[in-house]
Structure 1
């Protein structure tokens, strides 16, 4: 039996689906990080001053992750436009 060959249109469609799925995954991850950030801020309000440094470090990490995620999204969007 011969193997079916993929046409350029098939390859492009598959690539588009993968890109859409990656963008959706990035979007889901961003939403998760934003929820985590809000919860950390809520907890911080009720945390004694001595323990807030740990929450501040966690908030900083979430902010760094969101920045990296935004940069990755921008990179992928730019690559797709080319």
Structure 2
């Protein structure tokens, strides 16, 4: 398999994880159950799931009052986007 193909598949999967982790955490928050750690949500974003995490924040209206998430998640997405643009324009 080509490296780009593997990278695309990875990004799709990790962004799905980011998106659904926001939904799961929101559902658990509403029912006072065990929650996903904030550190884990950020880790998912840092390893490539930032677009899915940001989308999940908006769709599920989750973590939208937490400054660390409102600023941090889009910042991670912006840095990753710039890195991807830089890598593909070489």
TM-score, structure 1 length as denominator?
A: 0.52
Match of 1:79 in 2: 87
Match of 2:30 in 1: 45
Long gaps (5+) in structure 1: 1-13
Match of 1:23 in 2: 8
Long gaps (5+) in structure 2: 49-76
Q: Secondary structure of 1:47's match?
A: coil
Cα distance change, pair 23–78 in 1 and its aligned pair in 2 (3 A): farther
Match of 1:62 in 2: 41
Higher helix share: 1
Count, aligned residues: 61
Larger radius of gyration: 1
Is the 8 Å Cα contact of residues 37 and 59 (structure 1) preserved in structure 2? no
TM-score, structure 2 length as denominator?
A: 0.49
